[in-house]
Amino acid sequence: MNARFQPPPKSLTPRDYQFLVLVTLAFLALCAALVFANLSLKGGGNFYAHWVGARAFLFEKIDPYGAETPAHVQQLIGAPSDSEPYILVTPFQVIPFYYPLSFLPDPKLARALFTLLLELALFALAVLSLLLTGWQAPRIFAILFVLFTVFNFYTFQAISEASPVLILALLYVGILFAYRAELDELAGALAALAFSSWEVGALFLLLVFWRAHHEKRKGVFSGFFMLSFILFFISFLSYPNWLIPFLRANANNLRADFGFNIRAILLDFFPAQGNALGWILTLGLILALGYEWNAARSGEFRRFYWTACLSLAAAPLLGFRTEMENLAVLVIPLALIFAIIHDRWQKFKDSLTLLLMSALFLIPWLFYFFRLPQDLLFLFLPFFTFIGLYWIRWWAIRPPRIFSDFANPK
């Protein structure tokens, strides 16, 4: 009966339409300004490897995993021949996503447009990472976190290299949102899209499948395998023999030995004990992750969420060779750390949160400007994030405590 007497939905007024038009024009103007600014960016070898590979395959019928791709990329960015090789190591089912930009003959314009997409993804990553925590953050801290995310050293590196890691991080957040909302097929489909750059997200994705298997949430696997089958079918239909060149390119990339590796870093710092320390650290992390994964198989989402963040933080410390820009994914666990700290330590929550956020922002930039060893710059963020996650562990995973409980402690 009550439904019959509900007032009709309010229609938009002319002023509302004017506001929407102004917002749209402002957004388009901002995008145009960002594209113009992106044209002046240096580097971008990560994007150019995909762009060159896609154009080589589409227009010249050349194997995108061949030696021509890294040689062309080094010419585009003006890098010496002994610099990072920029070998294309992305599975072929991902390459078609670069086809639209590969039709642009101007590499700088293509890179500028792709970088715009990354910048929009970075803003969405900051907002969604905050929403995922459930933190009722004061507006000033929400704005500060977004600014921290956009301008910190590691995300700047991802933008500078035009690395798709920011899109991967956005997919990881989407997987967590979908899993929490029990949209299992969507979580599986997003995992299929994120099934690359294994040195960044392999642990995270394995944990998702581990939990889904234990909870018998078959929708996660059906969503993953259905989309994966479609993508692989299209890739093998268009290039049936891509698997062997892809594996060969990955082997060549491993032999090139560019990037950061925790055991190699420890060997540089401690030539006598570095190898042993590296293996001790790796085994210790494996044991810690094994315990946390076993505990996160079931129970409330908050424990799974915390363990997923821990997996992202541990990946750079396990010995996988990775790049500096890949650390941008740690925005996801940092949001959780700031949320718990602000809600738990009531007496000095604002000052402590601001202090930590400022330190995390300033220290890497100081390392960079004072030309301190790159290895220290690489280790700083994952070690801080890993320690920070264990610092907040009790409050992050203990039911029935939730963030709103901390706001009114007894």
How far from the centroid of its chain's Cα atoms is residue 119's Cα? Answer: 13
In 228-350, DSSP assigns E strands to none
**DSSP per position, 232-257:** HHHHHHH-TT-HHHHHHHHHHHHHHT
> Does the model's pTM come out above 0.75?
yes
Cα(99)–Cα(83) distance, rounded to whole angstroms? 27
CA 402, 404, 406, 410 torsion-angle sign: negative
Coil, helix or strand at residue 260: strand
The answer to whether residues 203 and 311 touch, using CB atoms and an 8 Å cutoff, is yes
What do you get for the CA distance between the two ends of the chain, in Å? 44
Domain positions in the chain are 106-407
Low-confidence ranges of the chain (pLDDT < 50): 1-3, 400-410
Q: How far is CA 301 from CA 158, 262, 298, 308, in A?
A: 30, 31, 8, 10
Q: How far is CA 129 from CA 132, 169, 384, 402, in A?
A: 5, 10, 18, 17
Task: Give the pLDDT confidence of 305-339 residue by residue, as tens digits.
Answer: 999 999 999 999 998 888 999 999 999 999 999 99
Q: How far is CA 27 from CA 20, 21, 404, in A?
A: 10, 10, 34
Provide the token pair at 241: 């023999």
Cα(396)–Cα(389) distance, rounded to whole angstroms? 9
Cα(340)–Cα(149) distance, rounded to whole angstroms? 17
Provide the token pair at 358: 């400022």
Q: Quick one: pLDDT at residue 9? A: 58
Cα(210)–Cα(225) distance, rounded to whole angstroms? 15
Q: Quick one: pLDDT at residue 77? A: 84
CB-based contacts of 160, cutoff 8 Å, min separation 6: 41, 42, 43, 44, 325
Cα(34)–Cα(39) distance, rounded to whole angstroms? 9
Coil, helix or strand at residue 105: coil
What are phi and psi for residue 299, nearest 5 degrees? 95, -165
Cα(100)–Cα(236) distance, rounded to whole angstroms? 19
**DSSP per position, 178-236:** HHHTT-HHHHHHHHHHT---HHHHHHHHHHHHHHHHHTT-HHHHHHHHHHHHHHHHHHH
Residue carrying the six token digits 């300004």:
33
